[in-house]
Structure 1
Amino acid sequence: MRHALITAGSKGLGKKVTEKLIQSGYSVTIHYRSDEEAVDKLHQELKEYEGYFNFIKGDLNEKEDLNRIVKNTVRQWGRIDVLVLNAGPYIFERKKLMDYSEAEWRSMIDGNLNSAFYLFKSVIPLMREQKFGRIITYGFQGAEHAPGWLYRSAFAAAKVGLVSLTKTLSLEEAEHGITANMICPGEIVGEMKEASITHSKSLADSTTPVGRSGTGEDIARTVLFLCDDHADMVTGSVIEITGGVDVLHKYR
């Protein structure tokens, strides 16, 4: 049985990824930061899959927590085949670089880029031993081309760095049967983060060219494809799941 470790997998976009992985036969370690209520809710919803998942709490800005998450996962499950970096701090307030505090800058870089470095350092040796691994990171629309993103300087800088890191890993680790890809969600907000595609198709959305909002299921289906044993030819790719929405230039 393949085992997946997903960060922030108890709610939001990560919840659908967790559900899809478990329903597809994976066992899953579900990381969360602090929302015990969301954990309890998901635990109840996954009751029929008891024994195929566990929850682990931790702060992705803390190196010690990151190492502990990996060690505890390996201790319980014996392997990590899939690493999904679903989590990443984000500052919703729109402001220019000069208005960011040093603490906010550090949080964006630590949570979105440095955390990936520490997790990769811990997980890749295991994947090398297994001769198999699937690493999936998250970015934003256009991240592959290092665009400027008005009012999102710190987040954008971290994610663009993560693009390069993901692509580099895809080259360095290919000989070990490890792939590394990035997916870039479009504008998926509110209840749509945990919604199904069927539900989304029942709601017209004039702001999205395809006519409906993106959902957590859209992200989950893409993650599941990239995790497949036979998806090894897809590596170093940045896949946008936007429905045609121009997120970057929504505000000027």
Structure 2
Amino acid sequence: MFDLHHRMAIVTGAGRGIGRAVAAALIEHGAYVALLDRDAAAVAETVAQLGPRAQSVVVDVAAVHEVTAAIEDVITRWGRLDILVNNAAVLSTAPFLDLTPEEWHRVLNINLTAIYYTCRAAVPAMITAGYGRLITIASVAGKRGGGILGSAAYSAAKAGAIGLTKALARELAPFGITANTVCPGPVETPLLAAMTPELRDRAQRLIPLGRFAAPSEVAAAVVFLASTEAAFITGETLDVDGGLTMD
């Protein structure tokens, strides 16, 4: 089950946290993975841990020419691309009245526009192959208007990511390409490790299962959506949030 042997995957923001866990899970199930991240040290460390099926690509996914060239190079070397996981993101907790235009554009560029860039570079090869899996890591903040951490810019970007993925699912279905979104709630990453005990407790009490997700639990959802078992699932949004949303 969930056999990804000989599948070729790209994961953005793969140097740490959820991206690292996703890359590890895809490799565990047999895939080859190019890990894209702008943090050269973090992605190099991750690749060293994951072994020969992993390769690092240092790139800023918000720079259109840079990310386009990187993805096209990966496809040229592999001869194809089967799976694209858009995970790269930044958090913004600025309240709306404190939100500057610079912060708005920074968050939208990395969390939403970069998905357009990566898909624009990746989809032609998938159309040629008649097969593809596009998976977006969004957030329950995009469905709930923020709440626990993310606020206006982050929520808007993640809502846009959900909408973009649905549009891709509709347009690309005739070519054998599925597009789905995973919406995590709070996940045990270095970001959440910096939360105060009071904030952690308040956040956990909002989650019916009473805890935050492990990165591996988000990665498991990605592996499923990348697999042939999910071949008839497209345009869906899968919440991995312990019951926080329940829509």
Q: What is the TM-score normalised by the length of structure 1?
A: 0.83
The alpha carbon displacement at 1:211 in A equals 4.2
1:98 Cα deviation after fit: 2.7
* Equivalent position of 2:120 in the other structure: 121
Name the CA distance, whole Å, in 2 between partners of 1:35 and 1:57.
6
Give secondary structure in 1 for the equivalent of 2:228.
coil
Structure 1 segments, 4+ long, off by >6 Å, are none
- 3-state SS in 1 of match to 2:84: strand
Give the Cα separation in 2 of the matches to 1:21 and 1:111: 23
Give the whole-Å Cα distance in 2 for the aligned partners of 1:166 and 1:175.
Answer: 15
User: Does residue 61 of the first structure (1) align with residue 62 of the second (2)?
Assistant: yes
1:185-216 C-alpha deviation (Å, 9 max, x unpaired): 111133599xxxxxxxxxxx963422443111
Distance in 1 between the 2:158 and 2:99 partners? Answer: 17
Aligned residue among 46, 60, 81 for 2:50: 46
Amino acid at match of 1:58: V
The answer on 1:23 being equivalent to 2:28 is: yes
Alpha-carbon RMSD across the aligned residues, in angstroms, is: 2.2
Pairs aligned (count): 228
> Structure 2 unaligned runs (5+)?
1-5, 193-202
* Counterpart residue type for residue 9 of structure 2: A
Question: Aligned partners of 2:216, 2:26: CA distance in 1, in Å?
Answer: 11
CA contact (8 A) 1:18 1:28 kept: yes
Contact 1:187-1:245 within 8 A present in 2 as well: no
Structure 1: segments with no counterpart, 5+ residues: 194-204, 247-252
How far off its partner does 1:171 sit? Answer: 1.0
Does the Cα contact within 8 Å between 1:5 and 1:83 map onto a contact in 2? yes
Q: Specify the SS of the correspondent of 1:180.
A: strand
Report the Cα distance in structure 2 between the residues aligned to 1:244 and 1:235, rounded to whole angstroms. Answer: 22
Q: Secondary structure at the match of 2:13?
A: coil
Indicate the SS of the match to 1:143: helix
- Counterpart of 2:87? 86
